[in-house]
Amino acid sequence: MKRVLPLSLSNFNPEKAILEAASELIATIDLEQRLLYLNPSARHLLSLPQDYDLEQQDLRVKDLHAPDVYRELNEDIFPTLLAGQGRWEGELEFLDFHGQSRPMQMTIILHTDADGEPLWITGIGRDLRRRKHLEAQQRLAKRVFDNAIEGIIVTDGRACIQHVNPAFTEITGYSAEEALGQTPKMLRSNHHDQAFYDTMWQSIADTDRWQGEVWNRRKNGSVYLQWLSINCVRDAQGYIENYISIFHDLTEMRAKEAEIQHLAHHDPLTGLGNRHLLNERLQHAVRQAKVQEEKLALLVLDLGHIQLINDSLGHTWCDRLIRGQSARIKEVVAEADTLVRIGSDEFALLIEDYEAVHDVSQIADDLIRVLQEEVQLGRHQVTLSPSVGVAFFPQDAQNSVELLINAQTALLDAKKSGRDTFRFFNREMSQQARERLKLEQALRSAVKGEGLSLHYQPKVLLEDGRLYGAEALLRWTHPELGPLSPAVFIPLAEEAGLIVDIGDWVLRHTCQQLVAWQEAGYTLPRIAVNLSVHQLEETEFAQKLEELLEAYQLDREVLELEITETGLMKNQNQALQSLRQLKEKGFRIALDDFGTGYSSLSYLSKLPLSTLKIDRSFVIDMARDTISLNIVKTIIQLAHNLSLDLVAEGVEDAQQADQLLRLGCTLAQGFHYYRPLPESEFTQLLAASSR
């Protein structure tokens, strides 16, 4: 074992021992800038051999620095020290004997004698390479942190936000100042339940990490989808120091995915869906229709003669034409229906759960009409001859493929018929639809022009048969079919949405006729006008009627508004509200077909009535049917008890008239007295009764 000798004070130099043991660079130079001393750490840092003899080999300051650094030392730092500064601190870059840079934190001191004369200069330096490396890493990390496109949140162990990067602000809208000290809960959208967050934090507790899609909310309130990853940072003891959350806004990516999906399902020229979209929608609609027992209609339409336009005017004008026609089609089609382009000049329209075949035929006719309108293509005017084929589910097909094939078969039939028309796959239905549509179009023309007229069925006093009033009855003379029964065209008007226009026509024409009779000097009878429940559904109907009578300067007493109990059941609330408004404005209201509804007596407490009308079915049967007779007696007694006027309808013989009079009914109308009279004949009757 090696023997350790005791330390002798005679050979111990503490100053030299400290210098030799120091980890810092220590160097001394004379006033000529020659190296006098380098400690072991300095020799190691500068790659200078430990046995390098400074006395034998001249080594100067300029040998240890790049020219620009030496210039600073020689021209600035040393002169400052020699001028009395005595001490300098700062960073200097050394070059070792291999030419490698060695950044150092230096303290340079001037040593003087007792008289203050300079003796030598000592430099003490600390190697900055590790610090510089850490600073470079920190700068790099900060650049990554600041320039990352992902939002980054750093929290402490209690989830209080300590740092956020600029991407966080860009994505969320919150500034760093607004976020610091808060928790990530500030971003919650409430799109996830508590169970979602419980699962997330359980994963973090088990594995120190979690990642997945989360819906969060921006500062402006908008909700967006993000991909979020959360990682824990633990200290040496295993306690969580930080949570680091990195998130990426998925809005743009999802938008691009949606765009790709849109391109896969849509026609680039028109923006409409394509055949692929139609197939998907058809399959889904058929499945749903089977389950819910609904009906589907598929219309396939051809613009007509597109190839001729393409050959004569070129692709550019042809594309413009197709885009323009698709815009016209969209104006006719409801938003809930599926409209697609399935060929160069072919479109398809899927209508789900339509109400009536007539509605589909109306749409087909509207499509043909709008596509027949003239199109301006530059200097050219173009007129197309469109065709439409229609097939129905489940009548014409049992699956989506059959439905499309049969609609195209119907389209081919329409083309063979000369175009400018539509055909149903079921030819019998097609003929009925065309005839009904033709009838509807004629009725529309009659409302706007000529063909409608009013007949008046007189109401009389039962005791002497004198004229009391009349009921205005609408008549329509078709230009080809002649006079049509109201039982035919009134339901058609209701289905076609014409009943309100027709009702307005009747009211306006009645007012005009009353003014004409008044100007002729006749005593005005009370004219009853039948109202449709659709008119009563108009919220401003009472106001509109009041303004109409004021415009013609007519007293409200000359007009009586007839409603039917069965009609009121279709929309009780709005109809009752309109009737109350009419009553408040002074209009008389009569209830027709009383006793034929389901809740007649309960209605009487709600309706603001002036008159009850006994339905003709009870009047006709009362002579031979005890039940009908008792019903008539009850209605008469009820009217008297409620102080209502009473009119018996359908009086066809003297026996009925006498019996009604004995029972207490004083007013009647029916063939026993008068049939409905044309306007001219009723005017003559009115003139005679006014003498």
CATH class label, 14-129: alpha beta
CB 403 within 8 A of CB 298: yes
CB 219 within 8 A of CB 174: yes
Report the pLDDT value the prediction gives residue 236, as an integer from 0 to 100.
85
Alpha-helical runs (H) found in 181-224: 194-207
Compute the distance between CA of residue 216 and CA of residue 535 in angstroms, rounded to an integer: 50
CA distances from 256 to 250, 261, 670, 686 (A): 10, 8, 74, 78
For the beta carbon of residue 428, count every other beta carbon within 10 angstroms.
8
Beta bridge partners of 471: 457, 528
Report the pLDDT value the prediction gives residue 5, as an integer from 0 to 100.
43
For the beta carbon of residue 2, count every other beta carbon within 10 angstroms.
3
Residue 2 has pLDDT above 50, yes or no: no
CB 639 within 8 A of CB 613: no
Residue whose C-alpha is closest to residue 105's, from 131, 133, 86:
131
CATH of 270-445, one of 3.30.70.270, 3.40.1180.10, 2.40.33.10, 3.30.43.10: 3.30.70.270
**Per-residue pLDDT tens digits for 652-670:** 999 999 999 999 999 999 9
Compute the distance between CA of residue 300 and CA of residue 341 in angstroms, rounded to an integer: 10
Share of the chain above pLDDT 70, in %: 93
């007013």: which residue's tokens? Answer: 667
Residue 555 has pLDDT above 50, yes or no: yes
Residues of the chain with CATH 3.30.450.20: 14-129, 148-253
Residue 26 has pLDDT above 80, yes or no: yes
**Per-residue pLDDT tens digits for 365-407:** 999 999 888 888 878 888 888 999 999 999 888 899 889 988 9
Pick from 58-72, 272-286, 603-617: least confident: 603-617
Residues of the chain with CATH 3.20.20.450: 450-689
- Band the pLDDT of 415: cuts 50, 70, 90: confident
The pTM assigned to this predicted structure is 0.49
Show the tokens assigned to 172: 């969320």
**Per-residue pLDDT tens digits for 67-124:** 999 999 999 999 989 888 878 999 999 999 888 999 999 999 999 988 888 999 999 9
């309808």: which residue's tokens? Answer: 649
Pick from 167-181, 244-258, 323-337, 598-612: least confident: 598-612
The yes/no answer on whether domain 450-689 falls in CATH 3.20.20.450 is yes
- Band the pLDDT of 602: cuts 50, 70, 90: low
CB 357 within 8 A of CB 295: no
**Per-residue pLDDT tens digits for 466-478:** 998 999 999 998 8
Show the tokens assigned to 421: 């028309």
DSSP per-residue letters across 353-395: S-S-HHHHHHHHHHHHHHHTS-EEETTEEE----EEEEEEETT
**Per-residue pLDDT tens digits for 262-279:** 666 778 888 888 888 889
CB 61 within 8 A of CB 46: no
Residue whose C-alpha is closest to residue 276's, from 337, 341, 330:
341
Q: Where is 411: in which H helix or E strand?
A: helix 400-416
C-alpha dihedral over 176, 177, 182, 185, to 10 degrees?
-50
**Per-residue pLDDT tens digits for 52-65:** 888 888 899 999 99
Show the tokens assigned to 141: 């990390």
- Band the pLDDT of 427: cuts 50, 70, 90: low
DSSP per-residue letters across 524-591: PPEEEEE--HHHHTSTTHHHHHHHHHHHHT--GGGEEEEEEHHHHTTSHHHHHHHHHHHHHTT-EEEE
Q: Which amino acid is at 148?
A: A
Show the tokens assigned to 120: 């030598």
Question: Long-range contacts: 153-156, Cβ < 8 Å, 24+?
Answer: 153/179, 153/184, 153/243, 153/244, 153/245, 153/247, 154/242, 154/243, 154/244, 154/245, 155/183, 155/184, 155/242, 155/243, 155/244, 155/245, 156/241, 156/242, 156/243
DSSP per-residue letters across 221-237: S-EEEEEEEEEEEE-TT
Compute the distance between CA of residue 6 and CA of residue 290 in angstroms, rounded to an integer: 108
Residues of the chain with CATH 3.30.70.270: 270-445
CA distances from 525 to 468, 560, 580 (A): 6, 10, 24
CATH of 148-253, one of 3.40.630.30, 3.30.450.20, 3.30.450.30, 3.30.499.10: 3.30.450.20
